[in-house]
Amino acid sequence: MTVLVERRAGYRVITLNRPERLNALTVDMGDALLAALADAEADGACRVVLLTGAGRGFCAGQDLAAVGDAPLSDLLEHYNPLIRKLRALPLPVVCAVNGVAAGAGANLALACDIVLAARSASFVQAFARIGLIPDCGGTWFLPRLVGSARARGLAMLAEPLPAENAAEWGLIWQAVDDDKLIGEAVALAARLATQATQGLALTKRALDAAETNDLDTQLDVERDLQAEAGRTPDYAEGVRAFLEKRPAAFTGRSR
């Protein structure tokens, strides 16, 4: 199985599992990952996804031994839905980058909502080394996360960016000690699984919409999505809990 799924209370751990190839992606593996995300979305008890890799790497991008003769656009017809699904998933996605994240593997991580990386991990926009352009959203994520100058340097020089620099640059949320990575990622997933899931899903939608909207349009988006958030039981519970000076007991349900 190239993608492992573990169901835990409130969240699922999805693990890329071709460790002998640093979890390099094949089309079948991309499709399996997409199916695992769709399953997580369909499971009402799953409120968070935690994505990580088996072994010493997170994901080395496309398996270069398995590209075959098909046009590269055919391969991307399999990977693009994956990136779209991660962004549109109405659940927070935590990514624990346990080792090198290269090419499409780096951009798979960047498509997640909260990215933690082991201090020994690095991010490599490896595409330029083989004459390609950053795909799987790389040309969209990079300038938005780190600005144009750094995006161009990363994309054109294809040098590994260590996790700590990635965190300093705002490419990821945090770099953590290697031996603490999974513990911290699991704690974060478990914590998010107790939060107002609908509100978090609407937050994702608002932030993504903001990437292309002007302020005027975005204020309307916020008004509409806030109205939706305000209709959830978790909003009512959040306010009640605040006034009663107790922790909120969110259900994550929309009604």
Q: Which residues bind ligand LHQ (CB under 6 A)?
A: 21-22, 24, 60-65, 67, 72, 75-76, 79, 100, 102-104, 124, 126-127, 129-130, 132, 135
* Closer by beta carbon to ligand LHQ, 57 or else 238: 57
Q: What is the closest distance, in whole angstroms, from the C-beta atom of residue 132 to ligand LHQ in the complex?
A: 5
Measured at the alpha carbon of residue 37, what is the angle toward residues 35 and 38, in degrees to the nearest 5? 65
Q: What is the closest distance, in whole angstroms, from the C-beta atom of residue 136 to ligand LHQ in the complex?
A: 7
Q: What is the closest distance, in whole angstroms, from the C-beta atom of residue 164 to ligand LHQ in the complex?
A: 18
111 close to 186: Cβ distance less than 8 angstroms: no
Q: What is the closest distance, in whole angstroms, from the C-beta atom of residue 106 to ligand LHQ in the complex?
A: 8
Contacts of 100 (CB under 8 A, 6+ apart): 22, 56, 57, 58, 60, 121, 122, 124, 160
Q: What is the closest distance, in whole angstroms, from the C-beta atom of residue 177 to ligand LHQ in the complex?
A: 20
Neighbours of 152 (CB within 10 A): 13
Alpha carbon separation from 96 to 50, 72, 178 (Å, rounded): 7, 28, 10
Question: CA torsion angle for 110, 168, 24, 80 (degrees, to 10)?
Answer: 20
* Closer by beta carbon to ligand LHQ, 9 or else 72: 72
* Closer by beta carbon to ligand LHQ, 8 or else 119: 119
Q: What is the closest distance, in whole angstroms, from the C-beta atom of residue 86 to ligand LHQ in the complex?
A: 16
Per the structure block, which two tokens stand in for 199? 């509100």
Per the structure block, which two tokens stand in for 95? 């990514």
* Closer by beta carbon to ligand LHQ, 178 or else 184: 178
* Closer by beta carbon to ligand LHQ, 21 or else 204: 21
* Closer by beta carbon to ligand LHQ, 135 or else 234: 135
* Closer by beta carbon to ligand LHQ, 48 or else 161: 161
Phi/psi at 15 (5° precision) = -120, 125
Q: What is the closest distance, in whole angstroms, from the C-beta atom of residue 73 to ligand LHQ in the complex?
A: 8
Per the structure block, which two tokens stand in for 45? 């008890």
Neighbours of 6 (CB within 10 A): 10
What is the rounded CA–CA span in Å between residue 226 and residue 92? 18
